[in-house]
Amino acid sequence: MSNVRSSNLGFPRIGEKREWKKAIELFWAGKIQEADLHKQLAAIRLDNLKLQKEKGVEIIPVNDFTYYDHILDTATMFGVIPTRFNYVGGEVSLATYYGVARGNTEATASEMTKWFNTNYHYIVPELQNVTPQLTINRPLLAYREAKEQLNIEGRPVLVGLYTFLKLSKGYDTSKLDEVIEQFLPLYVQVLQELAAEGAAWVQIDEPILVTTVDQEDYKHIQHIYETLQREVPSISVQLQTYFGAVDQYEELVALPVQGLGLDFVHDQGHNLEALRKFGFPSDKVLAAGIIDGRNVWRADLDAQLAVLQEIQQLAADTQILVQPSSSLLHVPVTARTEEKLDVVLKNALAFAEEKLEELVLLANAANGHKDEQAFAVSREAIQALNASPARNREEVRHAAAHVSEQPSNRAHDFGVRQVEQKKKWQLPFLPTTTIGSFPQTAEVRAARQKWRKGEWSREQYTEFVNAQIKDWIVKQEEIGIDVLVHGEFERTDMVEFFGEKLAGFAFTSFGWVQSYGSRCVKPPVIFGDVEFLAPMTVEETVYAQSLTDKPVKGMLTGPITILNWSFVRTDLSREQVSYQIALALRKEVEALEQAGIEMIQVDEPALREGLPLKRAEWDQYLEWAVLAFKLSTSTVKDTTQIHTHMCYCEFHDIIDSITALDADVISIETSRSHGELVHSFEEHTYPLGIGLGVYDIHSPRVPSVDEMVSMIGRALQVLDPELFWINPDCGLKTRGESETVESLKNMVEAAKQVRVSRSKISV
């Protein structure tokens, strides 16, 4: 047996052409039956396994596939269903499974939040009033399927108990010991059944171990893995970490597991340094993540082989696995079909398929069978991209490197601006608005396709978009909204739209990745220096403003969200790239203001997700992230009102930085966790304008007026009513027209009722 073997941690679920998404959405629409869904998704799942085998990967994961989300899978496997869904035990039905994820007519969906610092979202398990039970052994079924259907001895993947509990809500954290004891026997049962089936190994993912973990945490971890080893000694456990370095390496390598997976890409060198300092146990397998599982660039095979060879020296008597730094679900399926990309750029890309090939090349090279030609091709591709003019715009580079010379503060503080803005805008108490987008119907998508394919002229497409804008300006006025938006009908995606109009970005044809549920996004590729070319949003916004006397907000995506929702070049720091984007966006903000648009929303929903996983590294990131936002928004007049929007992710953790953005108004996605966020304002004062989302746009459910009145009232207990706005919690692009109109009517009515009740109180 060779000393180094190739291994994978997870593969994209969505299919090469998003077949997974299409099947699920057909099922939701009632156009296919449950049996058809199972059949179609099984075909995708088996194709994924066959592909990995054909690429030469020796260790192939199973149970990394899902019908929506792998954390939701784990929750339903253990019967963790919120009581509002009236679950009575046993295997969870598909209706209940999707109800927890999306809500239904009787119950609201569970909260959704970011998966660590990625743009993937998971459904947060709710443990209150739940007695866990093993409803179905998903890893066992996946292992059995791969073996019976394809003769593949797969490695079952299971979310680790400690990570699962740390990502869950609804239990007393001071009683974590008791909660662990509720679930631990079920994990034992899963492993026992796998061992009885013949599985020799299981991969247990504990990415929580790369966050800030203390000695108390490790006591729990040690207890969990000692119990699994004692109760199921016949199965080997690969304890898998990813997304960064582990802090307490010595304790981790001493755990009673047979293999340990470490990230040698996003660890900033710390995992390798720990290996140098402390060595590695000779009785364990070291799974080395040396191919980037989160970005789309070819690996520098020479550099990564050098790392691998050093690992071989440091763990000389150890079986070594070469694998991605994380699951490949964060990258597109294949670069093979990207025929429209510039050849220099395409040659420098590696998606999931190509990363599997790199794994095999590195494993072979480490075993003394280096493919010199393949290494040379990779080397030349990287060199060609680095030498391209797109990566060498000196003026852009210089401006971003000298941001201290650029204005980054408004002329006056918020107190002064607020007085001037009140005079100018004359808005009612508790003004209503939306976040920006309106439903992108099949008709809208079809029109865009006709234009992109050349079937429509630019004039035809503009006429169509303008008709949509006009229609929704009328609808907003009829509903009674105070501050309007143009609806973003010309935009596919809030990042892609801007990237298409800025230098330094490229766009794939099929580079889709899963964001949440069936929602797939096609992240831009930032491959060169970012530069403003021409106004991007002025035409549509000015047209919308011409149709109404009410203010219309200009809508932009902020520099940090564009950064965090793109695949970013790695030859420059993310900080420098963010400054390039910010300085380009500043020119767009100024163009809007010059065109008479003096409410401008610069959205930063991804600000928090870019936080490093270790708290000690937060301040540095937040400092440059806040500066990037301010670089893009600080040159406008006092009367120009800057809005921003962000998603709720433990807002209280970064409230000082949110305040430092100095936006005149911030709207926050809160409807799934409204009470938790309101509670944070009982502890922290927020001195600027704010709108807490009063209903959940991720669900088709139309909330009642009373529900929203209650939400508004709760917020006004801790926030200044004079600074409070009423809005949905996110954009409405994915919603249907009728539900959108009805929900907004209820929102406006709720605002009116609260205005009346507050005026009576004041009298």
The position carrying tokens 């610092």 is: 117
pLDDT confidence bin for 426, thresholds 50/70/90? very high
Cα–Cα distance, 95 to 472 (Å, whole number): 34
Q: What is the structure's pLDDT at 655?
A: 85
For the segment(s) 59-206, the CATH number from 3.20.20.370, 3.50.50.60, 3.20.20.210, 3.30.365.10 is 3.20.20.210
State the pLDDT at residue 336: 95
Give the strand pairing for 320-324 and 4-6.
parallel
Of the listed 270, 643, 674, 698, which one is catalytic? 698
Same CATH topology for 59-206 and 411-501+536-762: the answer is: yes
736-759 in b/e burial notation, b at 16+ Cβ within 10 A? eeebbbebbbbbbbbbbbbbeebe
Question: What type of residue sits at position 28?
Answer: W
pLDDT(669) > 80: no
Residue by residue, DSSP assigns 340-356 as: TS-HHHHHTB--HHHHH
Q: Which of 159-168, 205-214, 644-653 has the lowest mean pLDDT?
A: 644-653
Q: Binding site membership for L-homocysteine: which residues?
A: 435-437, 488, 603
The residue-averaged pLDDT of 649-655 equals 72
Q: Is the pLDDT of residue 695 over 90?
A: no
188: its two tokens: 């034992």
Structure tokens at 722: 């004079």
pLDDT beyond 90 at 608: no
Q: Model pTM?
A: 0.90
* The pair of three-digit structure tokens given for residue 597, joined into one six-digit string: 């648009």
* Binding-site positions for 5-methyltetrahydropteroyltri-L-glutamate: 18-21, 114, 519-520, 565, 609
Is the pLDDT at 676 greater than 90? The verdict is no
| Tokens matching residue 648 | 């709720």
Could you tell me which residues are beta bridge partners of residue 665?
643, 689
498 contacts 562 by C-beta, under 8 angstroms: yes
Count the Cβ atoms, other than its own, within 10 Å of residue 531.
Answer: 18
In angstroms, the CA 197 to CA 155 distance is: 12
Contact 723, 759 (CB under 8 A): no
Give the 3-state DSSP-derived string for 579-594, with helices as H, strands as E and coil as C.
HHHHHHHHHHHHHHHH
pLDDT at residue 1, rounded to an integer: 39
Distance CA(645)–CA(68), nearest Å, equals 26
Instruction: Write out the two tokens for 202.
Output: 């299981």
Q: Which two tokens stand for residue 366?
A: 């480490």
Q: 204 pairs with which residues across the strands? A: 158, 239
pLDDT single digits (tens) 21-39? 999 999 999 999 999 999 9
Confidence at residue 623, expressed as pLDDT on a 0 to 100 scale = 97
* Three-state DSSP class for residue 669: strand
For the chain, the average pLDDT equals: 94
Q: Which residue has the higher pLDDT, 424 or 676?
A: 424
C-beta of residue 651 within 8 angstroms of C-beta of residue 677: yes
Residue ranges of the annotated binding site are 18-21, 114, 435-437, 488, 519-520, 565, 603, 609, 645, 647, 669, 730
Tokens describing residue 601: 């929303």
Q: Of 169, 212, 211, 160, nearest to 187 (Cα)? A: 160
Average pLDDT (690-698) is 83
Query: Are 354 and 360 contacting, i.e. CB atoms less than 8 angstroms apart?
Result: no
CB count in 10 Å sphere of residue 429? 13
Q: CA-CA distances (angstroms) from residue 614 to 247, 305, 368, 456?
A: 9, 28, 38, 50
Q: What residue spans define the domains of the chain?
A: 59-206, 411-501+536-762
Res 586: pLDDT: 98
Catalytic residue flag (residue 330): no
DSSP 93-131: PHHHHHHHHH--SSSPPPPEEESTTSS-EEEPPB-TT--
Residue 671 pLDDT = 56
DSSP code at position 266:
S
Q: Using an 8 Å Cβ cutoff, are 301 and 364 in contact?
A: no
Contact between 628 and 584 under an 8 Å Cβ cutoff? The reply is no
Q: How far apart are alpha carbons 495 and 677 in whole angstroms?
A: 27
Segment 317-369, tens digit of pLDDT: 789 999 999 999 999 999 999 999 999 999 999 999 999 999 999 999 999 99
Cα angle, residue 421 at apex, residues 417 and 423 outer, rounded to 5°: 125
Query: Is it the case that residue 659 has pLDDT exceeding 50?
Result: yes
- CB-facing half-sphere around the CA of 415: CA atoms within 13 A: 0
Say how far apart CA 644 and CA 459 lie, in whole Å: 32
Mean pLDDT of 269-293: 97
In this structure, what are the phi and psi dihedrals at residue 648, rounded to the nearest 5 degrees? Answer: -75, 120
Which of the four pLDDT bands, split at 50, 70 and 90, describes residue 107? very high
Looking at the domain that runs over 411-501+536-762, which CATH code has it been given?
Answer: 3.20.20.210
The model's confidence at residue 381, banded by pLDDT at 50, 70 and 90, is very high
Does pLDDT of 220 surpass 70?
Answer: yes
Contact 674, 111 (CB under 8 A): no
